[in-house]
């Protein structure tokens, strides 16, 4: 369900396993869109508002290793509810392009396919948390789970509680993403994240340009 009545903006999300490179690609994609004359707002999940950032700290802290997956699900949803109301909907209402590093599909991939929670139930929760707001376009950066974790380990970023789930968990997450891509090809596009970063960026630009019907140079 996409509930974007009277919202002229475009909502684009990037998804992918940990280490797939979304975070470094998004600013470059935003620059490209700005040069094409689009007004772009970038954000990320979990986080993106002062309240959502506080929830993110609870979610990621290594001190919270005993967190139950249901707690995790509700925390991701609460951080997202705030982000939607405070940033995403107002930006879309102003006709902007919102580019988000992760969104509700991450909950389906990680908590649904990864932890094994019922997907239909999660979709209901996500509809509640987001007021039914789903992206217009989702770019999935595909990468083998083991390669993604290796990149995370060697990337210099702090290793967090969520990275610490076992490889089998991350493999289920990737499988989940691939299932979502094939189930809804009108919204999802698969980008090969094994390419060198420059080529990943070219694929992203080409895909977004086609979707928005703007020049790709
Ligand atoms: P990142 O900041 O490296 O993208 O880390 C976010 C982590 O949180 C990543 O491991 C994916 C995970 N995550 C979920 O498990 N569920 C969610 O709904 C979201 C947004 C992220």
All structural domains of the chain with their residue ranges: 10-212
Check pLDDT > 60 for residue 4.
no
- Does 107 sit in the ligand 1 pocket, CB within 6 Å? yes
Helix (H) or strand (E) holding 20: none
Q: Whose CA is nearest to atom 15 of ligand 1?
A: 110
C-alpha of residue 143 to centroid of ligand 1, in Å: 15
Q: Whose CA is nearest to atom 4 of ligand 1?
A: 18
The reply to whether the predicted model has a pTM over 0.85 is yes
pLDDT in tens, 35-49: 999 999 999 999 999
Substitution candidate for ligand 1 out of 16, 61, 106 with most atoms within 8 A of CB: 106
Task: Quote the Cα angle for 87-93-95, to 5°.
Answer: 105
Contact 202, 139 (CB under 8 A): no
Which one of 1.10.1060.10, 3.30.70.100, 3.40.50.2000, 3.40.50.300 gives the CATH number of domain 10-212? 3.40.50.300
Q: Whose CA is nearest to atom 1 of ligand 1?
A: 18
Q: What are phi and psi of 43, to 5 degrees?
A: -150, 180
- Does 30 sit in the ligand 1 pocket, CB within 6 Å? no
Check pLDDT > 60 for residue 183.
yes
Check pLDDT > 80 for residue 157.
no
Q: Quick one: pLDDT at residue 152?
A: 82
Q: Encoding tokens for residue 64?
A: 């919270």
Q: Encoding tokens for residue 76?
A: 């991701």
Q: Quick one: pLDDT at residue 3?
A: 57
53-61, long-range: CB < 8 A, 24+ apart? 55/79, 55/82, 59/161, 59/162, 60/160, 60/161, 60/162, 61/160, 61/161
Share of the chain above pLDDT 70, in %: 97
Ligand 1 atom at shortest distance from the alpha carbon of 76: 18
- Does 174 sit in the ligand 1 pocket, CB within 6 Å? no
């Amino acid at each position: 369900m996409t509930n974007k009545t009277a919202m002229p903006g475009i909502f684009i999300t990037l998804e992918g396993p940990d280490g797939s490179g979304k975070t470094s690609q998004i600013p470059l994609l935003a620059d490209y869109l700005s040069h094409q004359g689009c007004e772009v707002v970038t954000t990320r999940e979990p986080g993106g508002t002062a309240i959502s950032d506080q929830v993110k700290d609870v979610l990621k802290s290594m001190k919270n290793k005993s967190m139950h997956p249901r707690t995790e699900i509700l925390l991701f949803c609460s951080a997202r509810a705030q982000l939607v109301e405070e940033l995403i909907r107002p930006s879309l209402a102003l006709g902007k392009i919102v580019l988000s590093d992760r969104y509700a599909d991450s909950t389906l991939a990680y908590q649904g396919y990864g932890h094994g929670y019922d997907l239909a139930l999660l979709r209901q929760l996500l509809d509640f948390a987001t007021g039914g707001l789903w992206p217009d376009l989702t770019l999935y950066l595909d990468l083998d789970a083991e390669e993604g974790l290796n990149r995370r380990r060697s990337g210099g970023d702090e290793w967090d509680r969520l990275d610490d789930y076992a490889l089998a968990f991350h493999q289920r997450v990737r499988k989940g993403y691939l299932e979502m891509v094939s189930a809804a090809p009108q919204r999802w596009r698969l980008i090969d994240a094994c390419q060198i970063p420059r080529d990943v960026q070219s694929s992203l630009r080409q895909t977004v340009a086609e979707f928005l019907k703007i020049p790709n140079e």
